Chains A and B, each alone.
Chain A
């Protein structure tokens, strides 16, 4: 029986949060795992906060990750990871893209953005470990900024904790993209994967 494994992906509308959960779900089904998940679409997509949950394991019923039960938080944007801090516990990993997206309310003077140090301090205190990544840089290295989310997915697998096989998620990526784009995405995945491995050494 697969142990419960909960992934929460957080970010900002337009960052490709949902694609990560779709790929995870498709791969999980290929590996004969039970999958549950949910996301908030609609109002949230026009540049607002987006979260998507993917839950694996036999004993999982609900579509939402219960408080403190997140196994891995994939943070596409630092403040959005912080927004979901209560999903973490001392056995959760955080994979954090350190590139900041400042909301329009900040230049308007209606809110302020915390320092990256403050965010990291909080997350480090709440989680087992925070793995930082310059995902956009890795994506550019892979050949396209559009693969930023796939580098994050690679890093998630780099933790070695997922019950999904690496070969299966790669199969899912291959099937999802047209033949022309698959290699770029595969490279992005590998760069994210390696970067996480190195960080964990």
Chain B
């Protein structure tokens, strides 16, 4: 048998995939021709999967510089009649927001789908915003899958629905969909290839107040049509149980938790269930039927009470006397689970608990103090560790001149380097959003008297770091901006970006250099350093901080993960360091306390270097006051 892959046109066959691969497969089945994205957990594998098969399927796939551009690339394709999508993590939609709102006035010609990957419990994010509220504001219909299979099916259908109703659709994924694994049944792949055609149409595409006023009513009409249609979409399903007192409305993945909870309690035949696959707009007719048939309703959904509020509004409007529960019994913070839904249902029905949850909670409480703290850490040999050591050394020297108690401030950003907020580096004072480091630094410079040394990565610089850099020049902010250039978008899986010289589809392209951009923007102090030369690096950063006016330092070293991978491929030796026990004082711990490299460990009171982990970066040898750390070859 030929092995099945993500591009096999084998309807009815089953394959085992990651949720994000299933979403990509849905788009492939729909014959998507343009896909654009900016990386972000838990969404990145969607575009990676598409990029891997783009040539084979003759589609255009790009990593855009940021989510706004990605969305605009897809929108343009749709305007020209071509099926297109943009995928991003939840906070990416904030970046695309400006285009998004007016785009909904335009609607869609070629099917257009925005994939928003929400992250309940903020596993890999700076917040846990619920993007259904953005969809609400934009009049954008939302599909929310209950399983990986449904995510694939919905993605394929979303393009058709988008064309049928001439409106763009959001598919709301969550971490436990995108990073879930499941078997899925494949559907047929559309082989239709359309040629894009731009038809000039001022009334539709040129937004001045006049066109806003023309198109908003048209958008509302389209939305009303969708509102009617969702009552009969297969993604919404009502199962009424005769005589049931309780009805549960399960939205998206929460529907799966609900099914399991009711089975666990053995009451699946006693409760009515409304499965919601379109939280926006809700299938009102189905909701009304359920509300009229029961005494109490529980809404299960992840993050904020979105469906709950709308269900309450429907009950109010139709004068239905029914008690509606949701976030009064379920948390607004974090993911739902079978257990959480089970406990909520127990509260409403008095059903017998299948396990002694209190005993398990006590067990967890007793166990927690025994557990070691295992935060993620910068990899052994990570160039960021060296950069931070240099930044801190330089900043401390300058801060002294500001006064005795003055400490430098380190506005930080989002990337692997955010891990430096952990001890021992503790070199991050703020992390808010991509590009936020330079923006916050601008503001700080006008209100505090201390060295301000902001940092962000190269991918982040291209994404959102350039406007605040220009702002610093324009508004004369006296700050130091360090660009941690590791030639990758490392945190999210090493995706290429404008500084890497190649594209998502593996083509070579121009390689932009942050230092050229900084100079072109009028920064007068621009230097490039190698962070592994700690002394020289600290010296240059010190000069940058002392410089009167905005200064830029590009700290350049390939991400060690990539470097090691390439070295192994080239069969180049990796020469680790070791601690000469005769020279090591055994007590000073400088290497551990200053750097926190996971390769440096303590064994029976001795400081040693784990030879399997050490990458040979050599920075510990530079900080050891006893010169006890040496290269293995010496």
Residues of A within 8 A of B (CB): 12-13, 21-22, 25-26, 28-29, 33-49, 54, 59-64, 66-68, 79-80, 82-83, 85-86, 89, 102-108, 110-114, 118-119, 122, 126, 145, 175
Contacts and interface: CB of A to CB of B under 8 A. Distances in A.
Nearest to B600: A107
A122 B367 contact: yes
Contacts of B589: 107
A62 B181 contact: no
Nearest to A105: B373
A66 B602 contact: no
Given A37-B181, A46-B378, A108-B593, 14 more contacts: A13-B376, A38-B175, A38-B176, A42-B491, A43-B123, A46-B376, A47-B374, A47-B377, A48-B374, A83-B367, A85-B364, A89-B355, A104-B598, A111-B371
Contacts of A48: 374-377
A46 B416 contact: yes
Interface residues of B, number: 64
A82 B263 CA distance: 28
A34 to B, nearest CB: 6
B248 interface: no
Contact of B16 (A28, A39, A105, A145): A28
A82 B180 contact: no
Given A47-B598, A62-B338, A66-B339, A113 B372 contact: yes
A64 B372 contact: no
B179 interface: yes
B42 interface: yes
Interface stretch (B75-83, B214-222, B251-259, B532-540): B251-259
Contacts of A118: 370
Nearest to B339: A67
Nearest to B418: A43
- Residue among B257, B263, B372, B596 with the most chain A CB within 10 A? B372
A143 B264 CA distance: 45
Nearest to B259: A61
B357 A67 contact: yes
Given A43-B124, A107-B592, A86 B371 contact: no
A46 B360 contact: no
Contact of A29 (B16, B377, B596): B16
A41 to B, nearest CB: 6
The 3 A-B pairs at the shortest CB distance, nearest first, are namely A42-B124, A48-B376, A46-B376
Interface of B: 3, 14-16, 41-42, 123-124, 146-148, 175-177, 179-183, 253, 256-257, 259-260, 263-264, 335, 337-339, 342, 355, 357, 360-361, 363-364, 367, 370-379, 416, 419, 423-424, 491-492, 589, 592-593, 596-598, 600-602, 612
Contacts of A13: 376
Contacts of A67: 337-339, 355, 357, 360
22 contacts: A25-B182, A37-B180, A38-B180, A47-B376, A48-B377, A61-B256, A62-B253, A62-B256, A62-B338, A63-B176, A64-B176, A64-B338, A66-B337, A66-B339, A67-B355, A103-B373, A104-B601, A105-B375, A112-B372, A114-B372, A119-B370, A145-B612
Contact of B374 (A59, A85, A103): A103
A68 B597 CA distance: 36
Given A38-B181, A82-B367, A107 B123 contact: no
B598 A59 contact: no
B372 A102 contact: yes
A46 B377 CA distance: 6
B601 A25 contact: no
B179 A40 contact: yes
A85 B361 CA distance: 10
Given A66-B338, A113-B372, A108 B176 contact: no
Contacts of B363: 85-86, 126
Given A64-B337, A114-B370, A40 B16 contact: no
Given A35-B182, A39-B181, A48-B376, A62 B337 contact: yes
Contacts of A112: 372
A161 to B, nearest CB: 20
A114 B368 CA distance: 11
A59 B263 contact: yes
Contacts of A33: 183
A79 B372 contact: yes
Contacts of A85: 363-364, 367
A20 B16 CA distance: 14
A119 B375 CA distance: 20
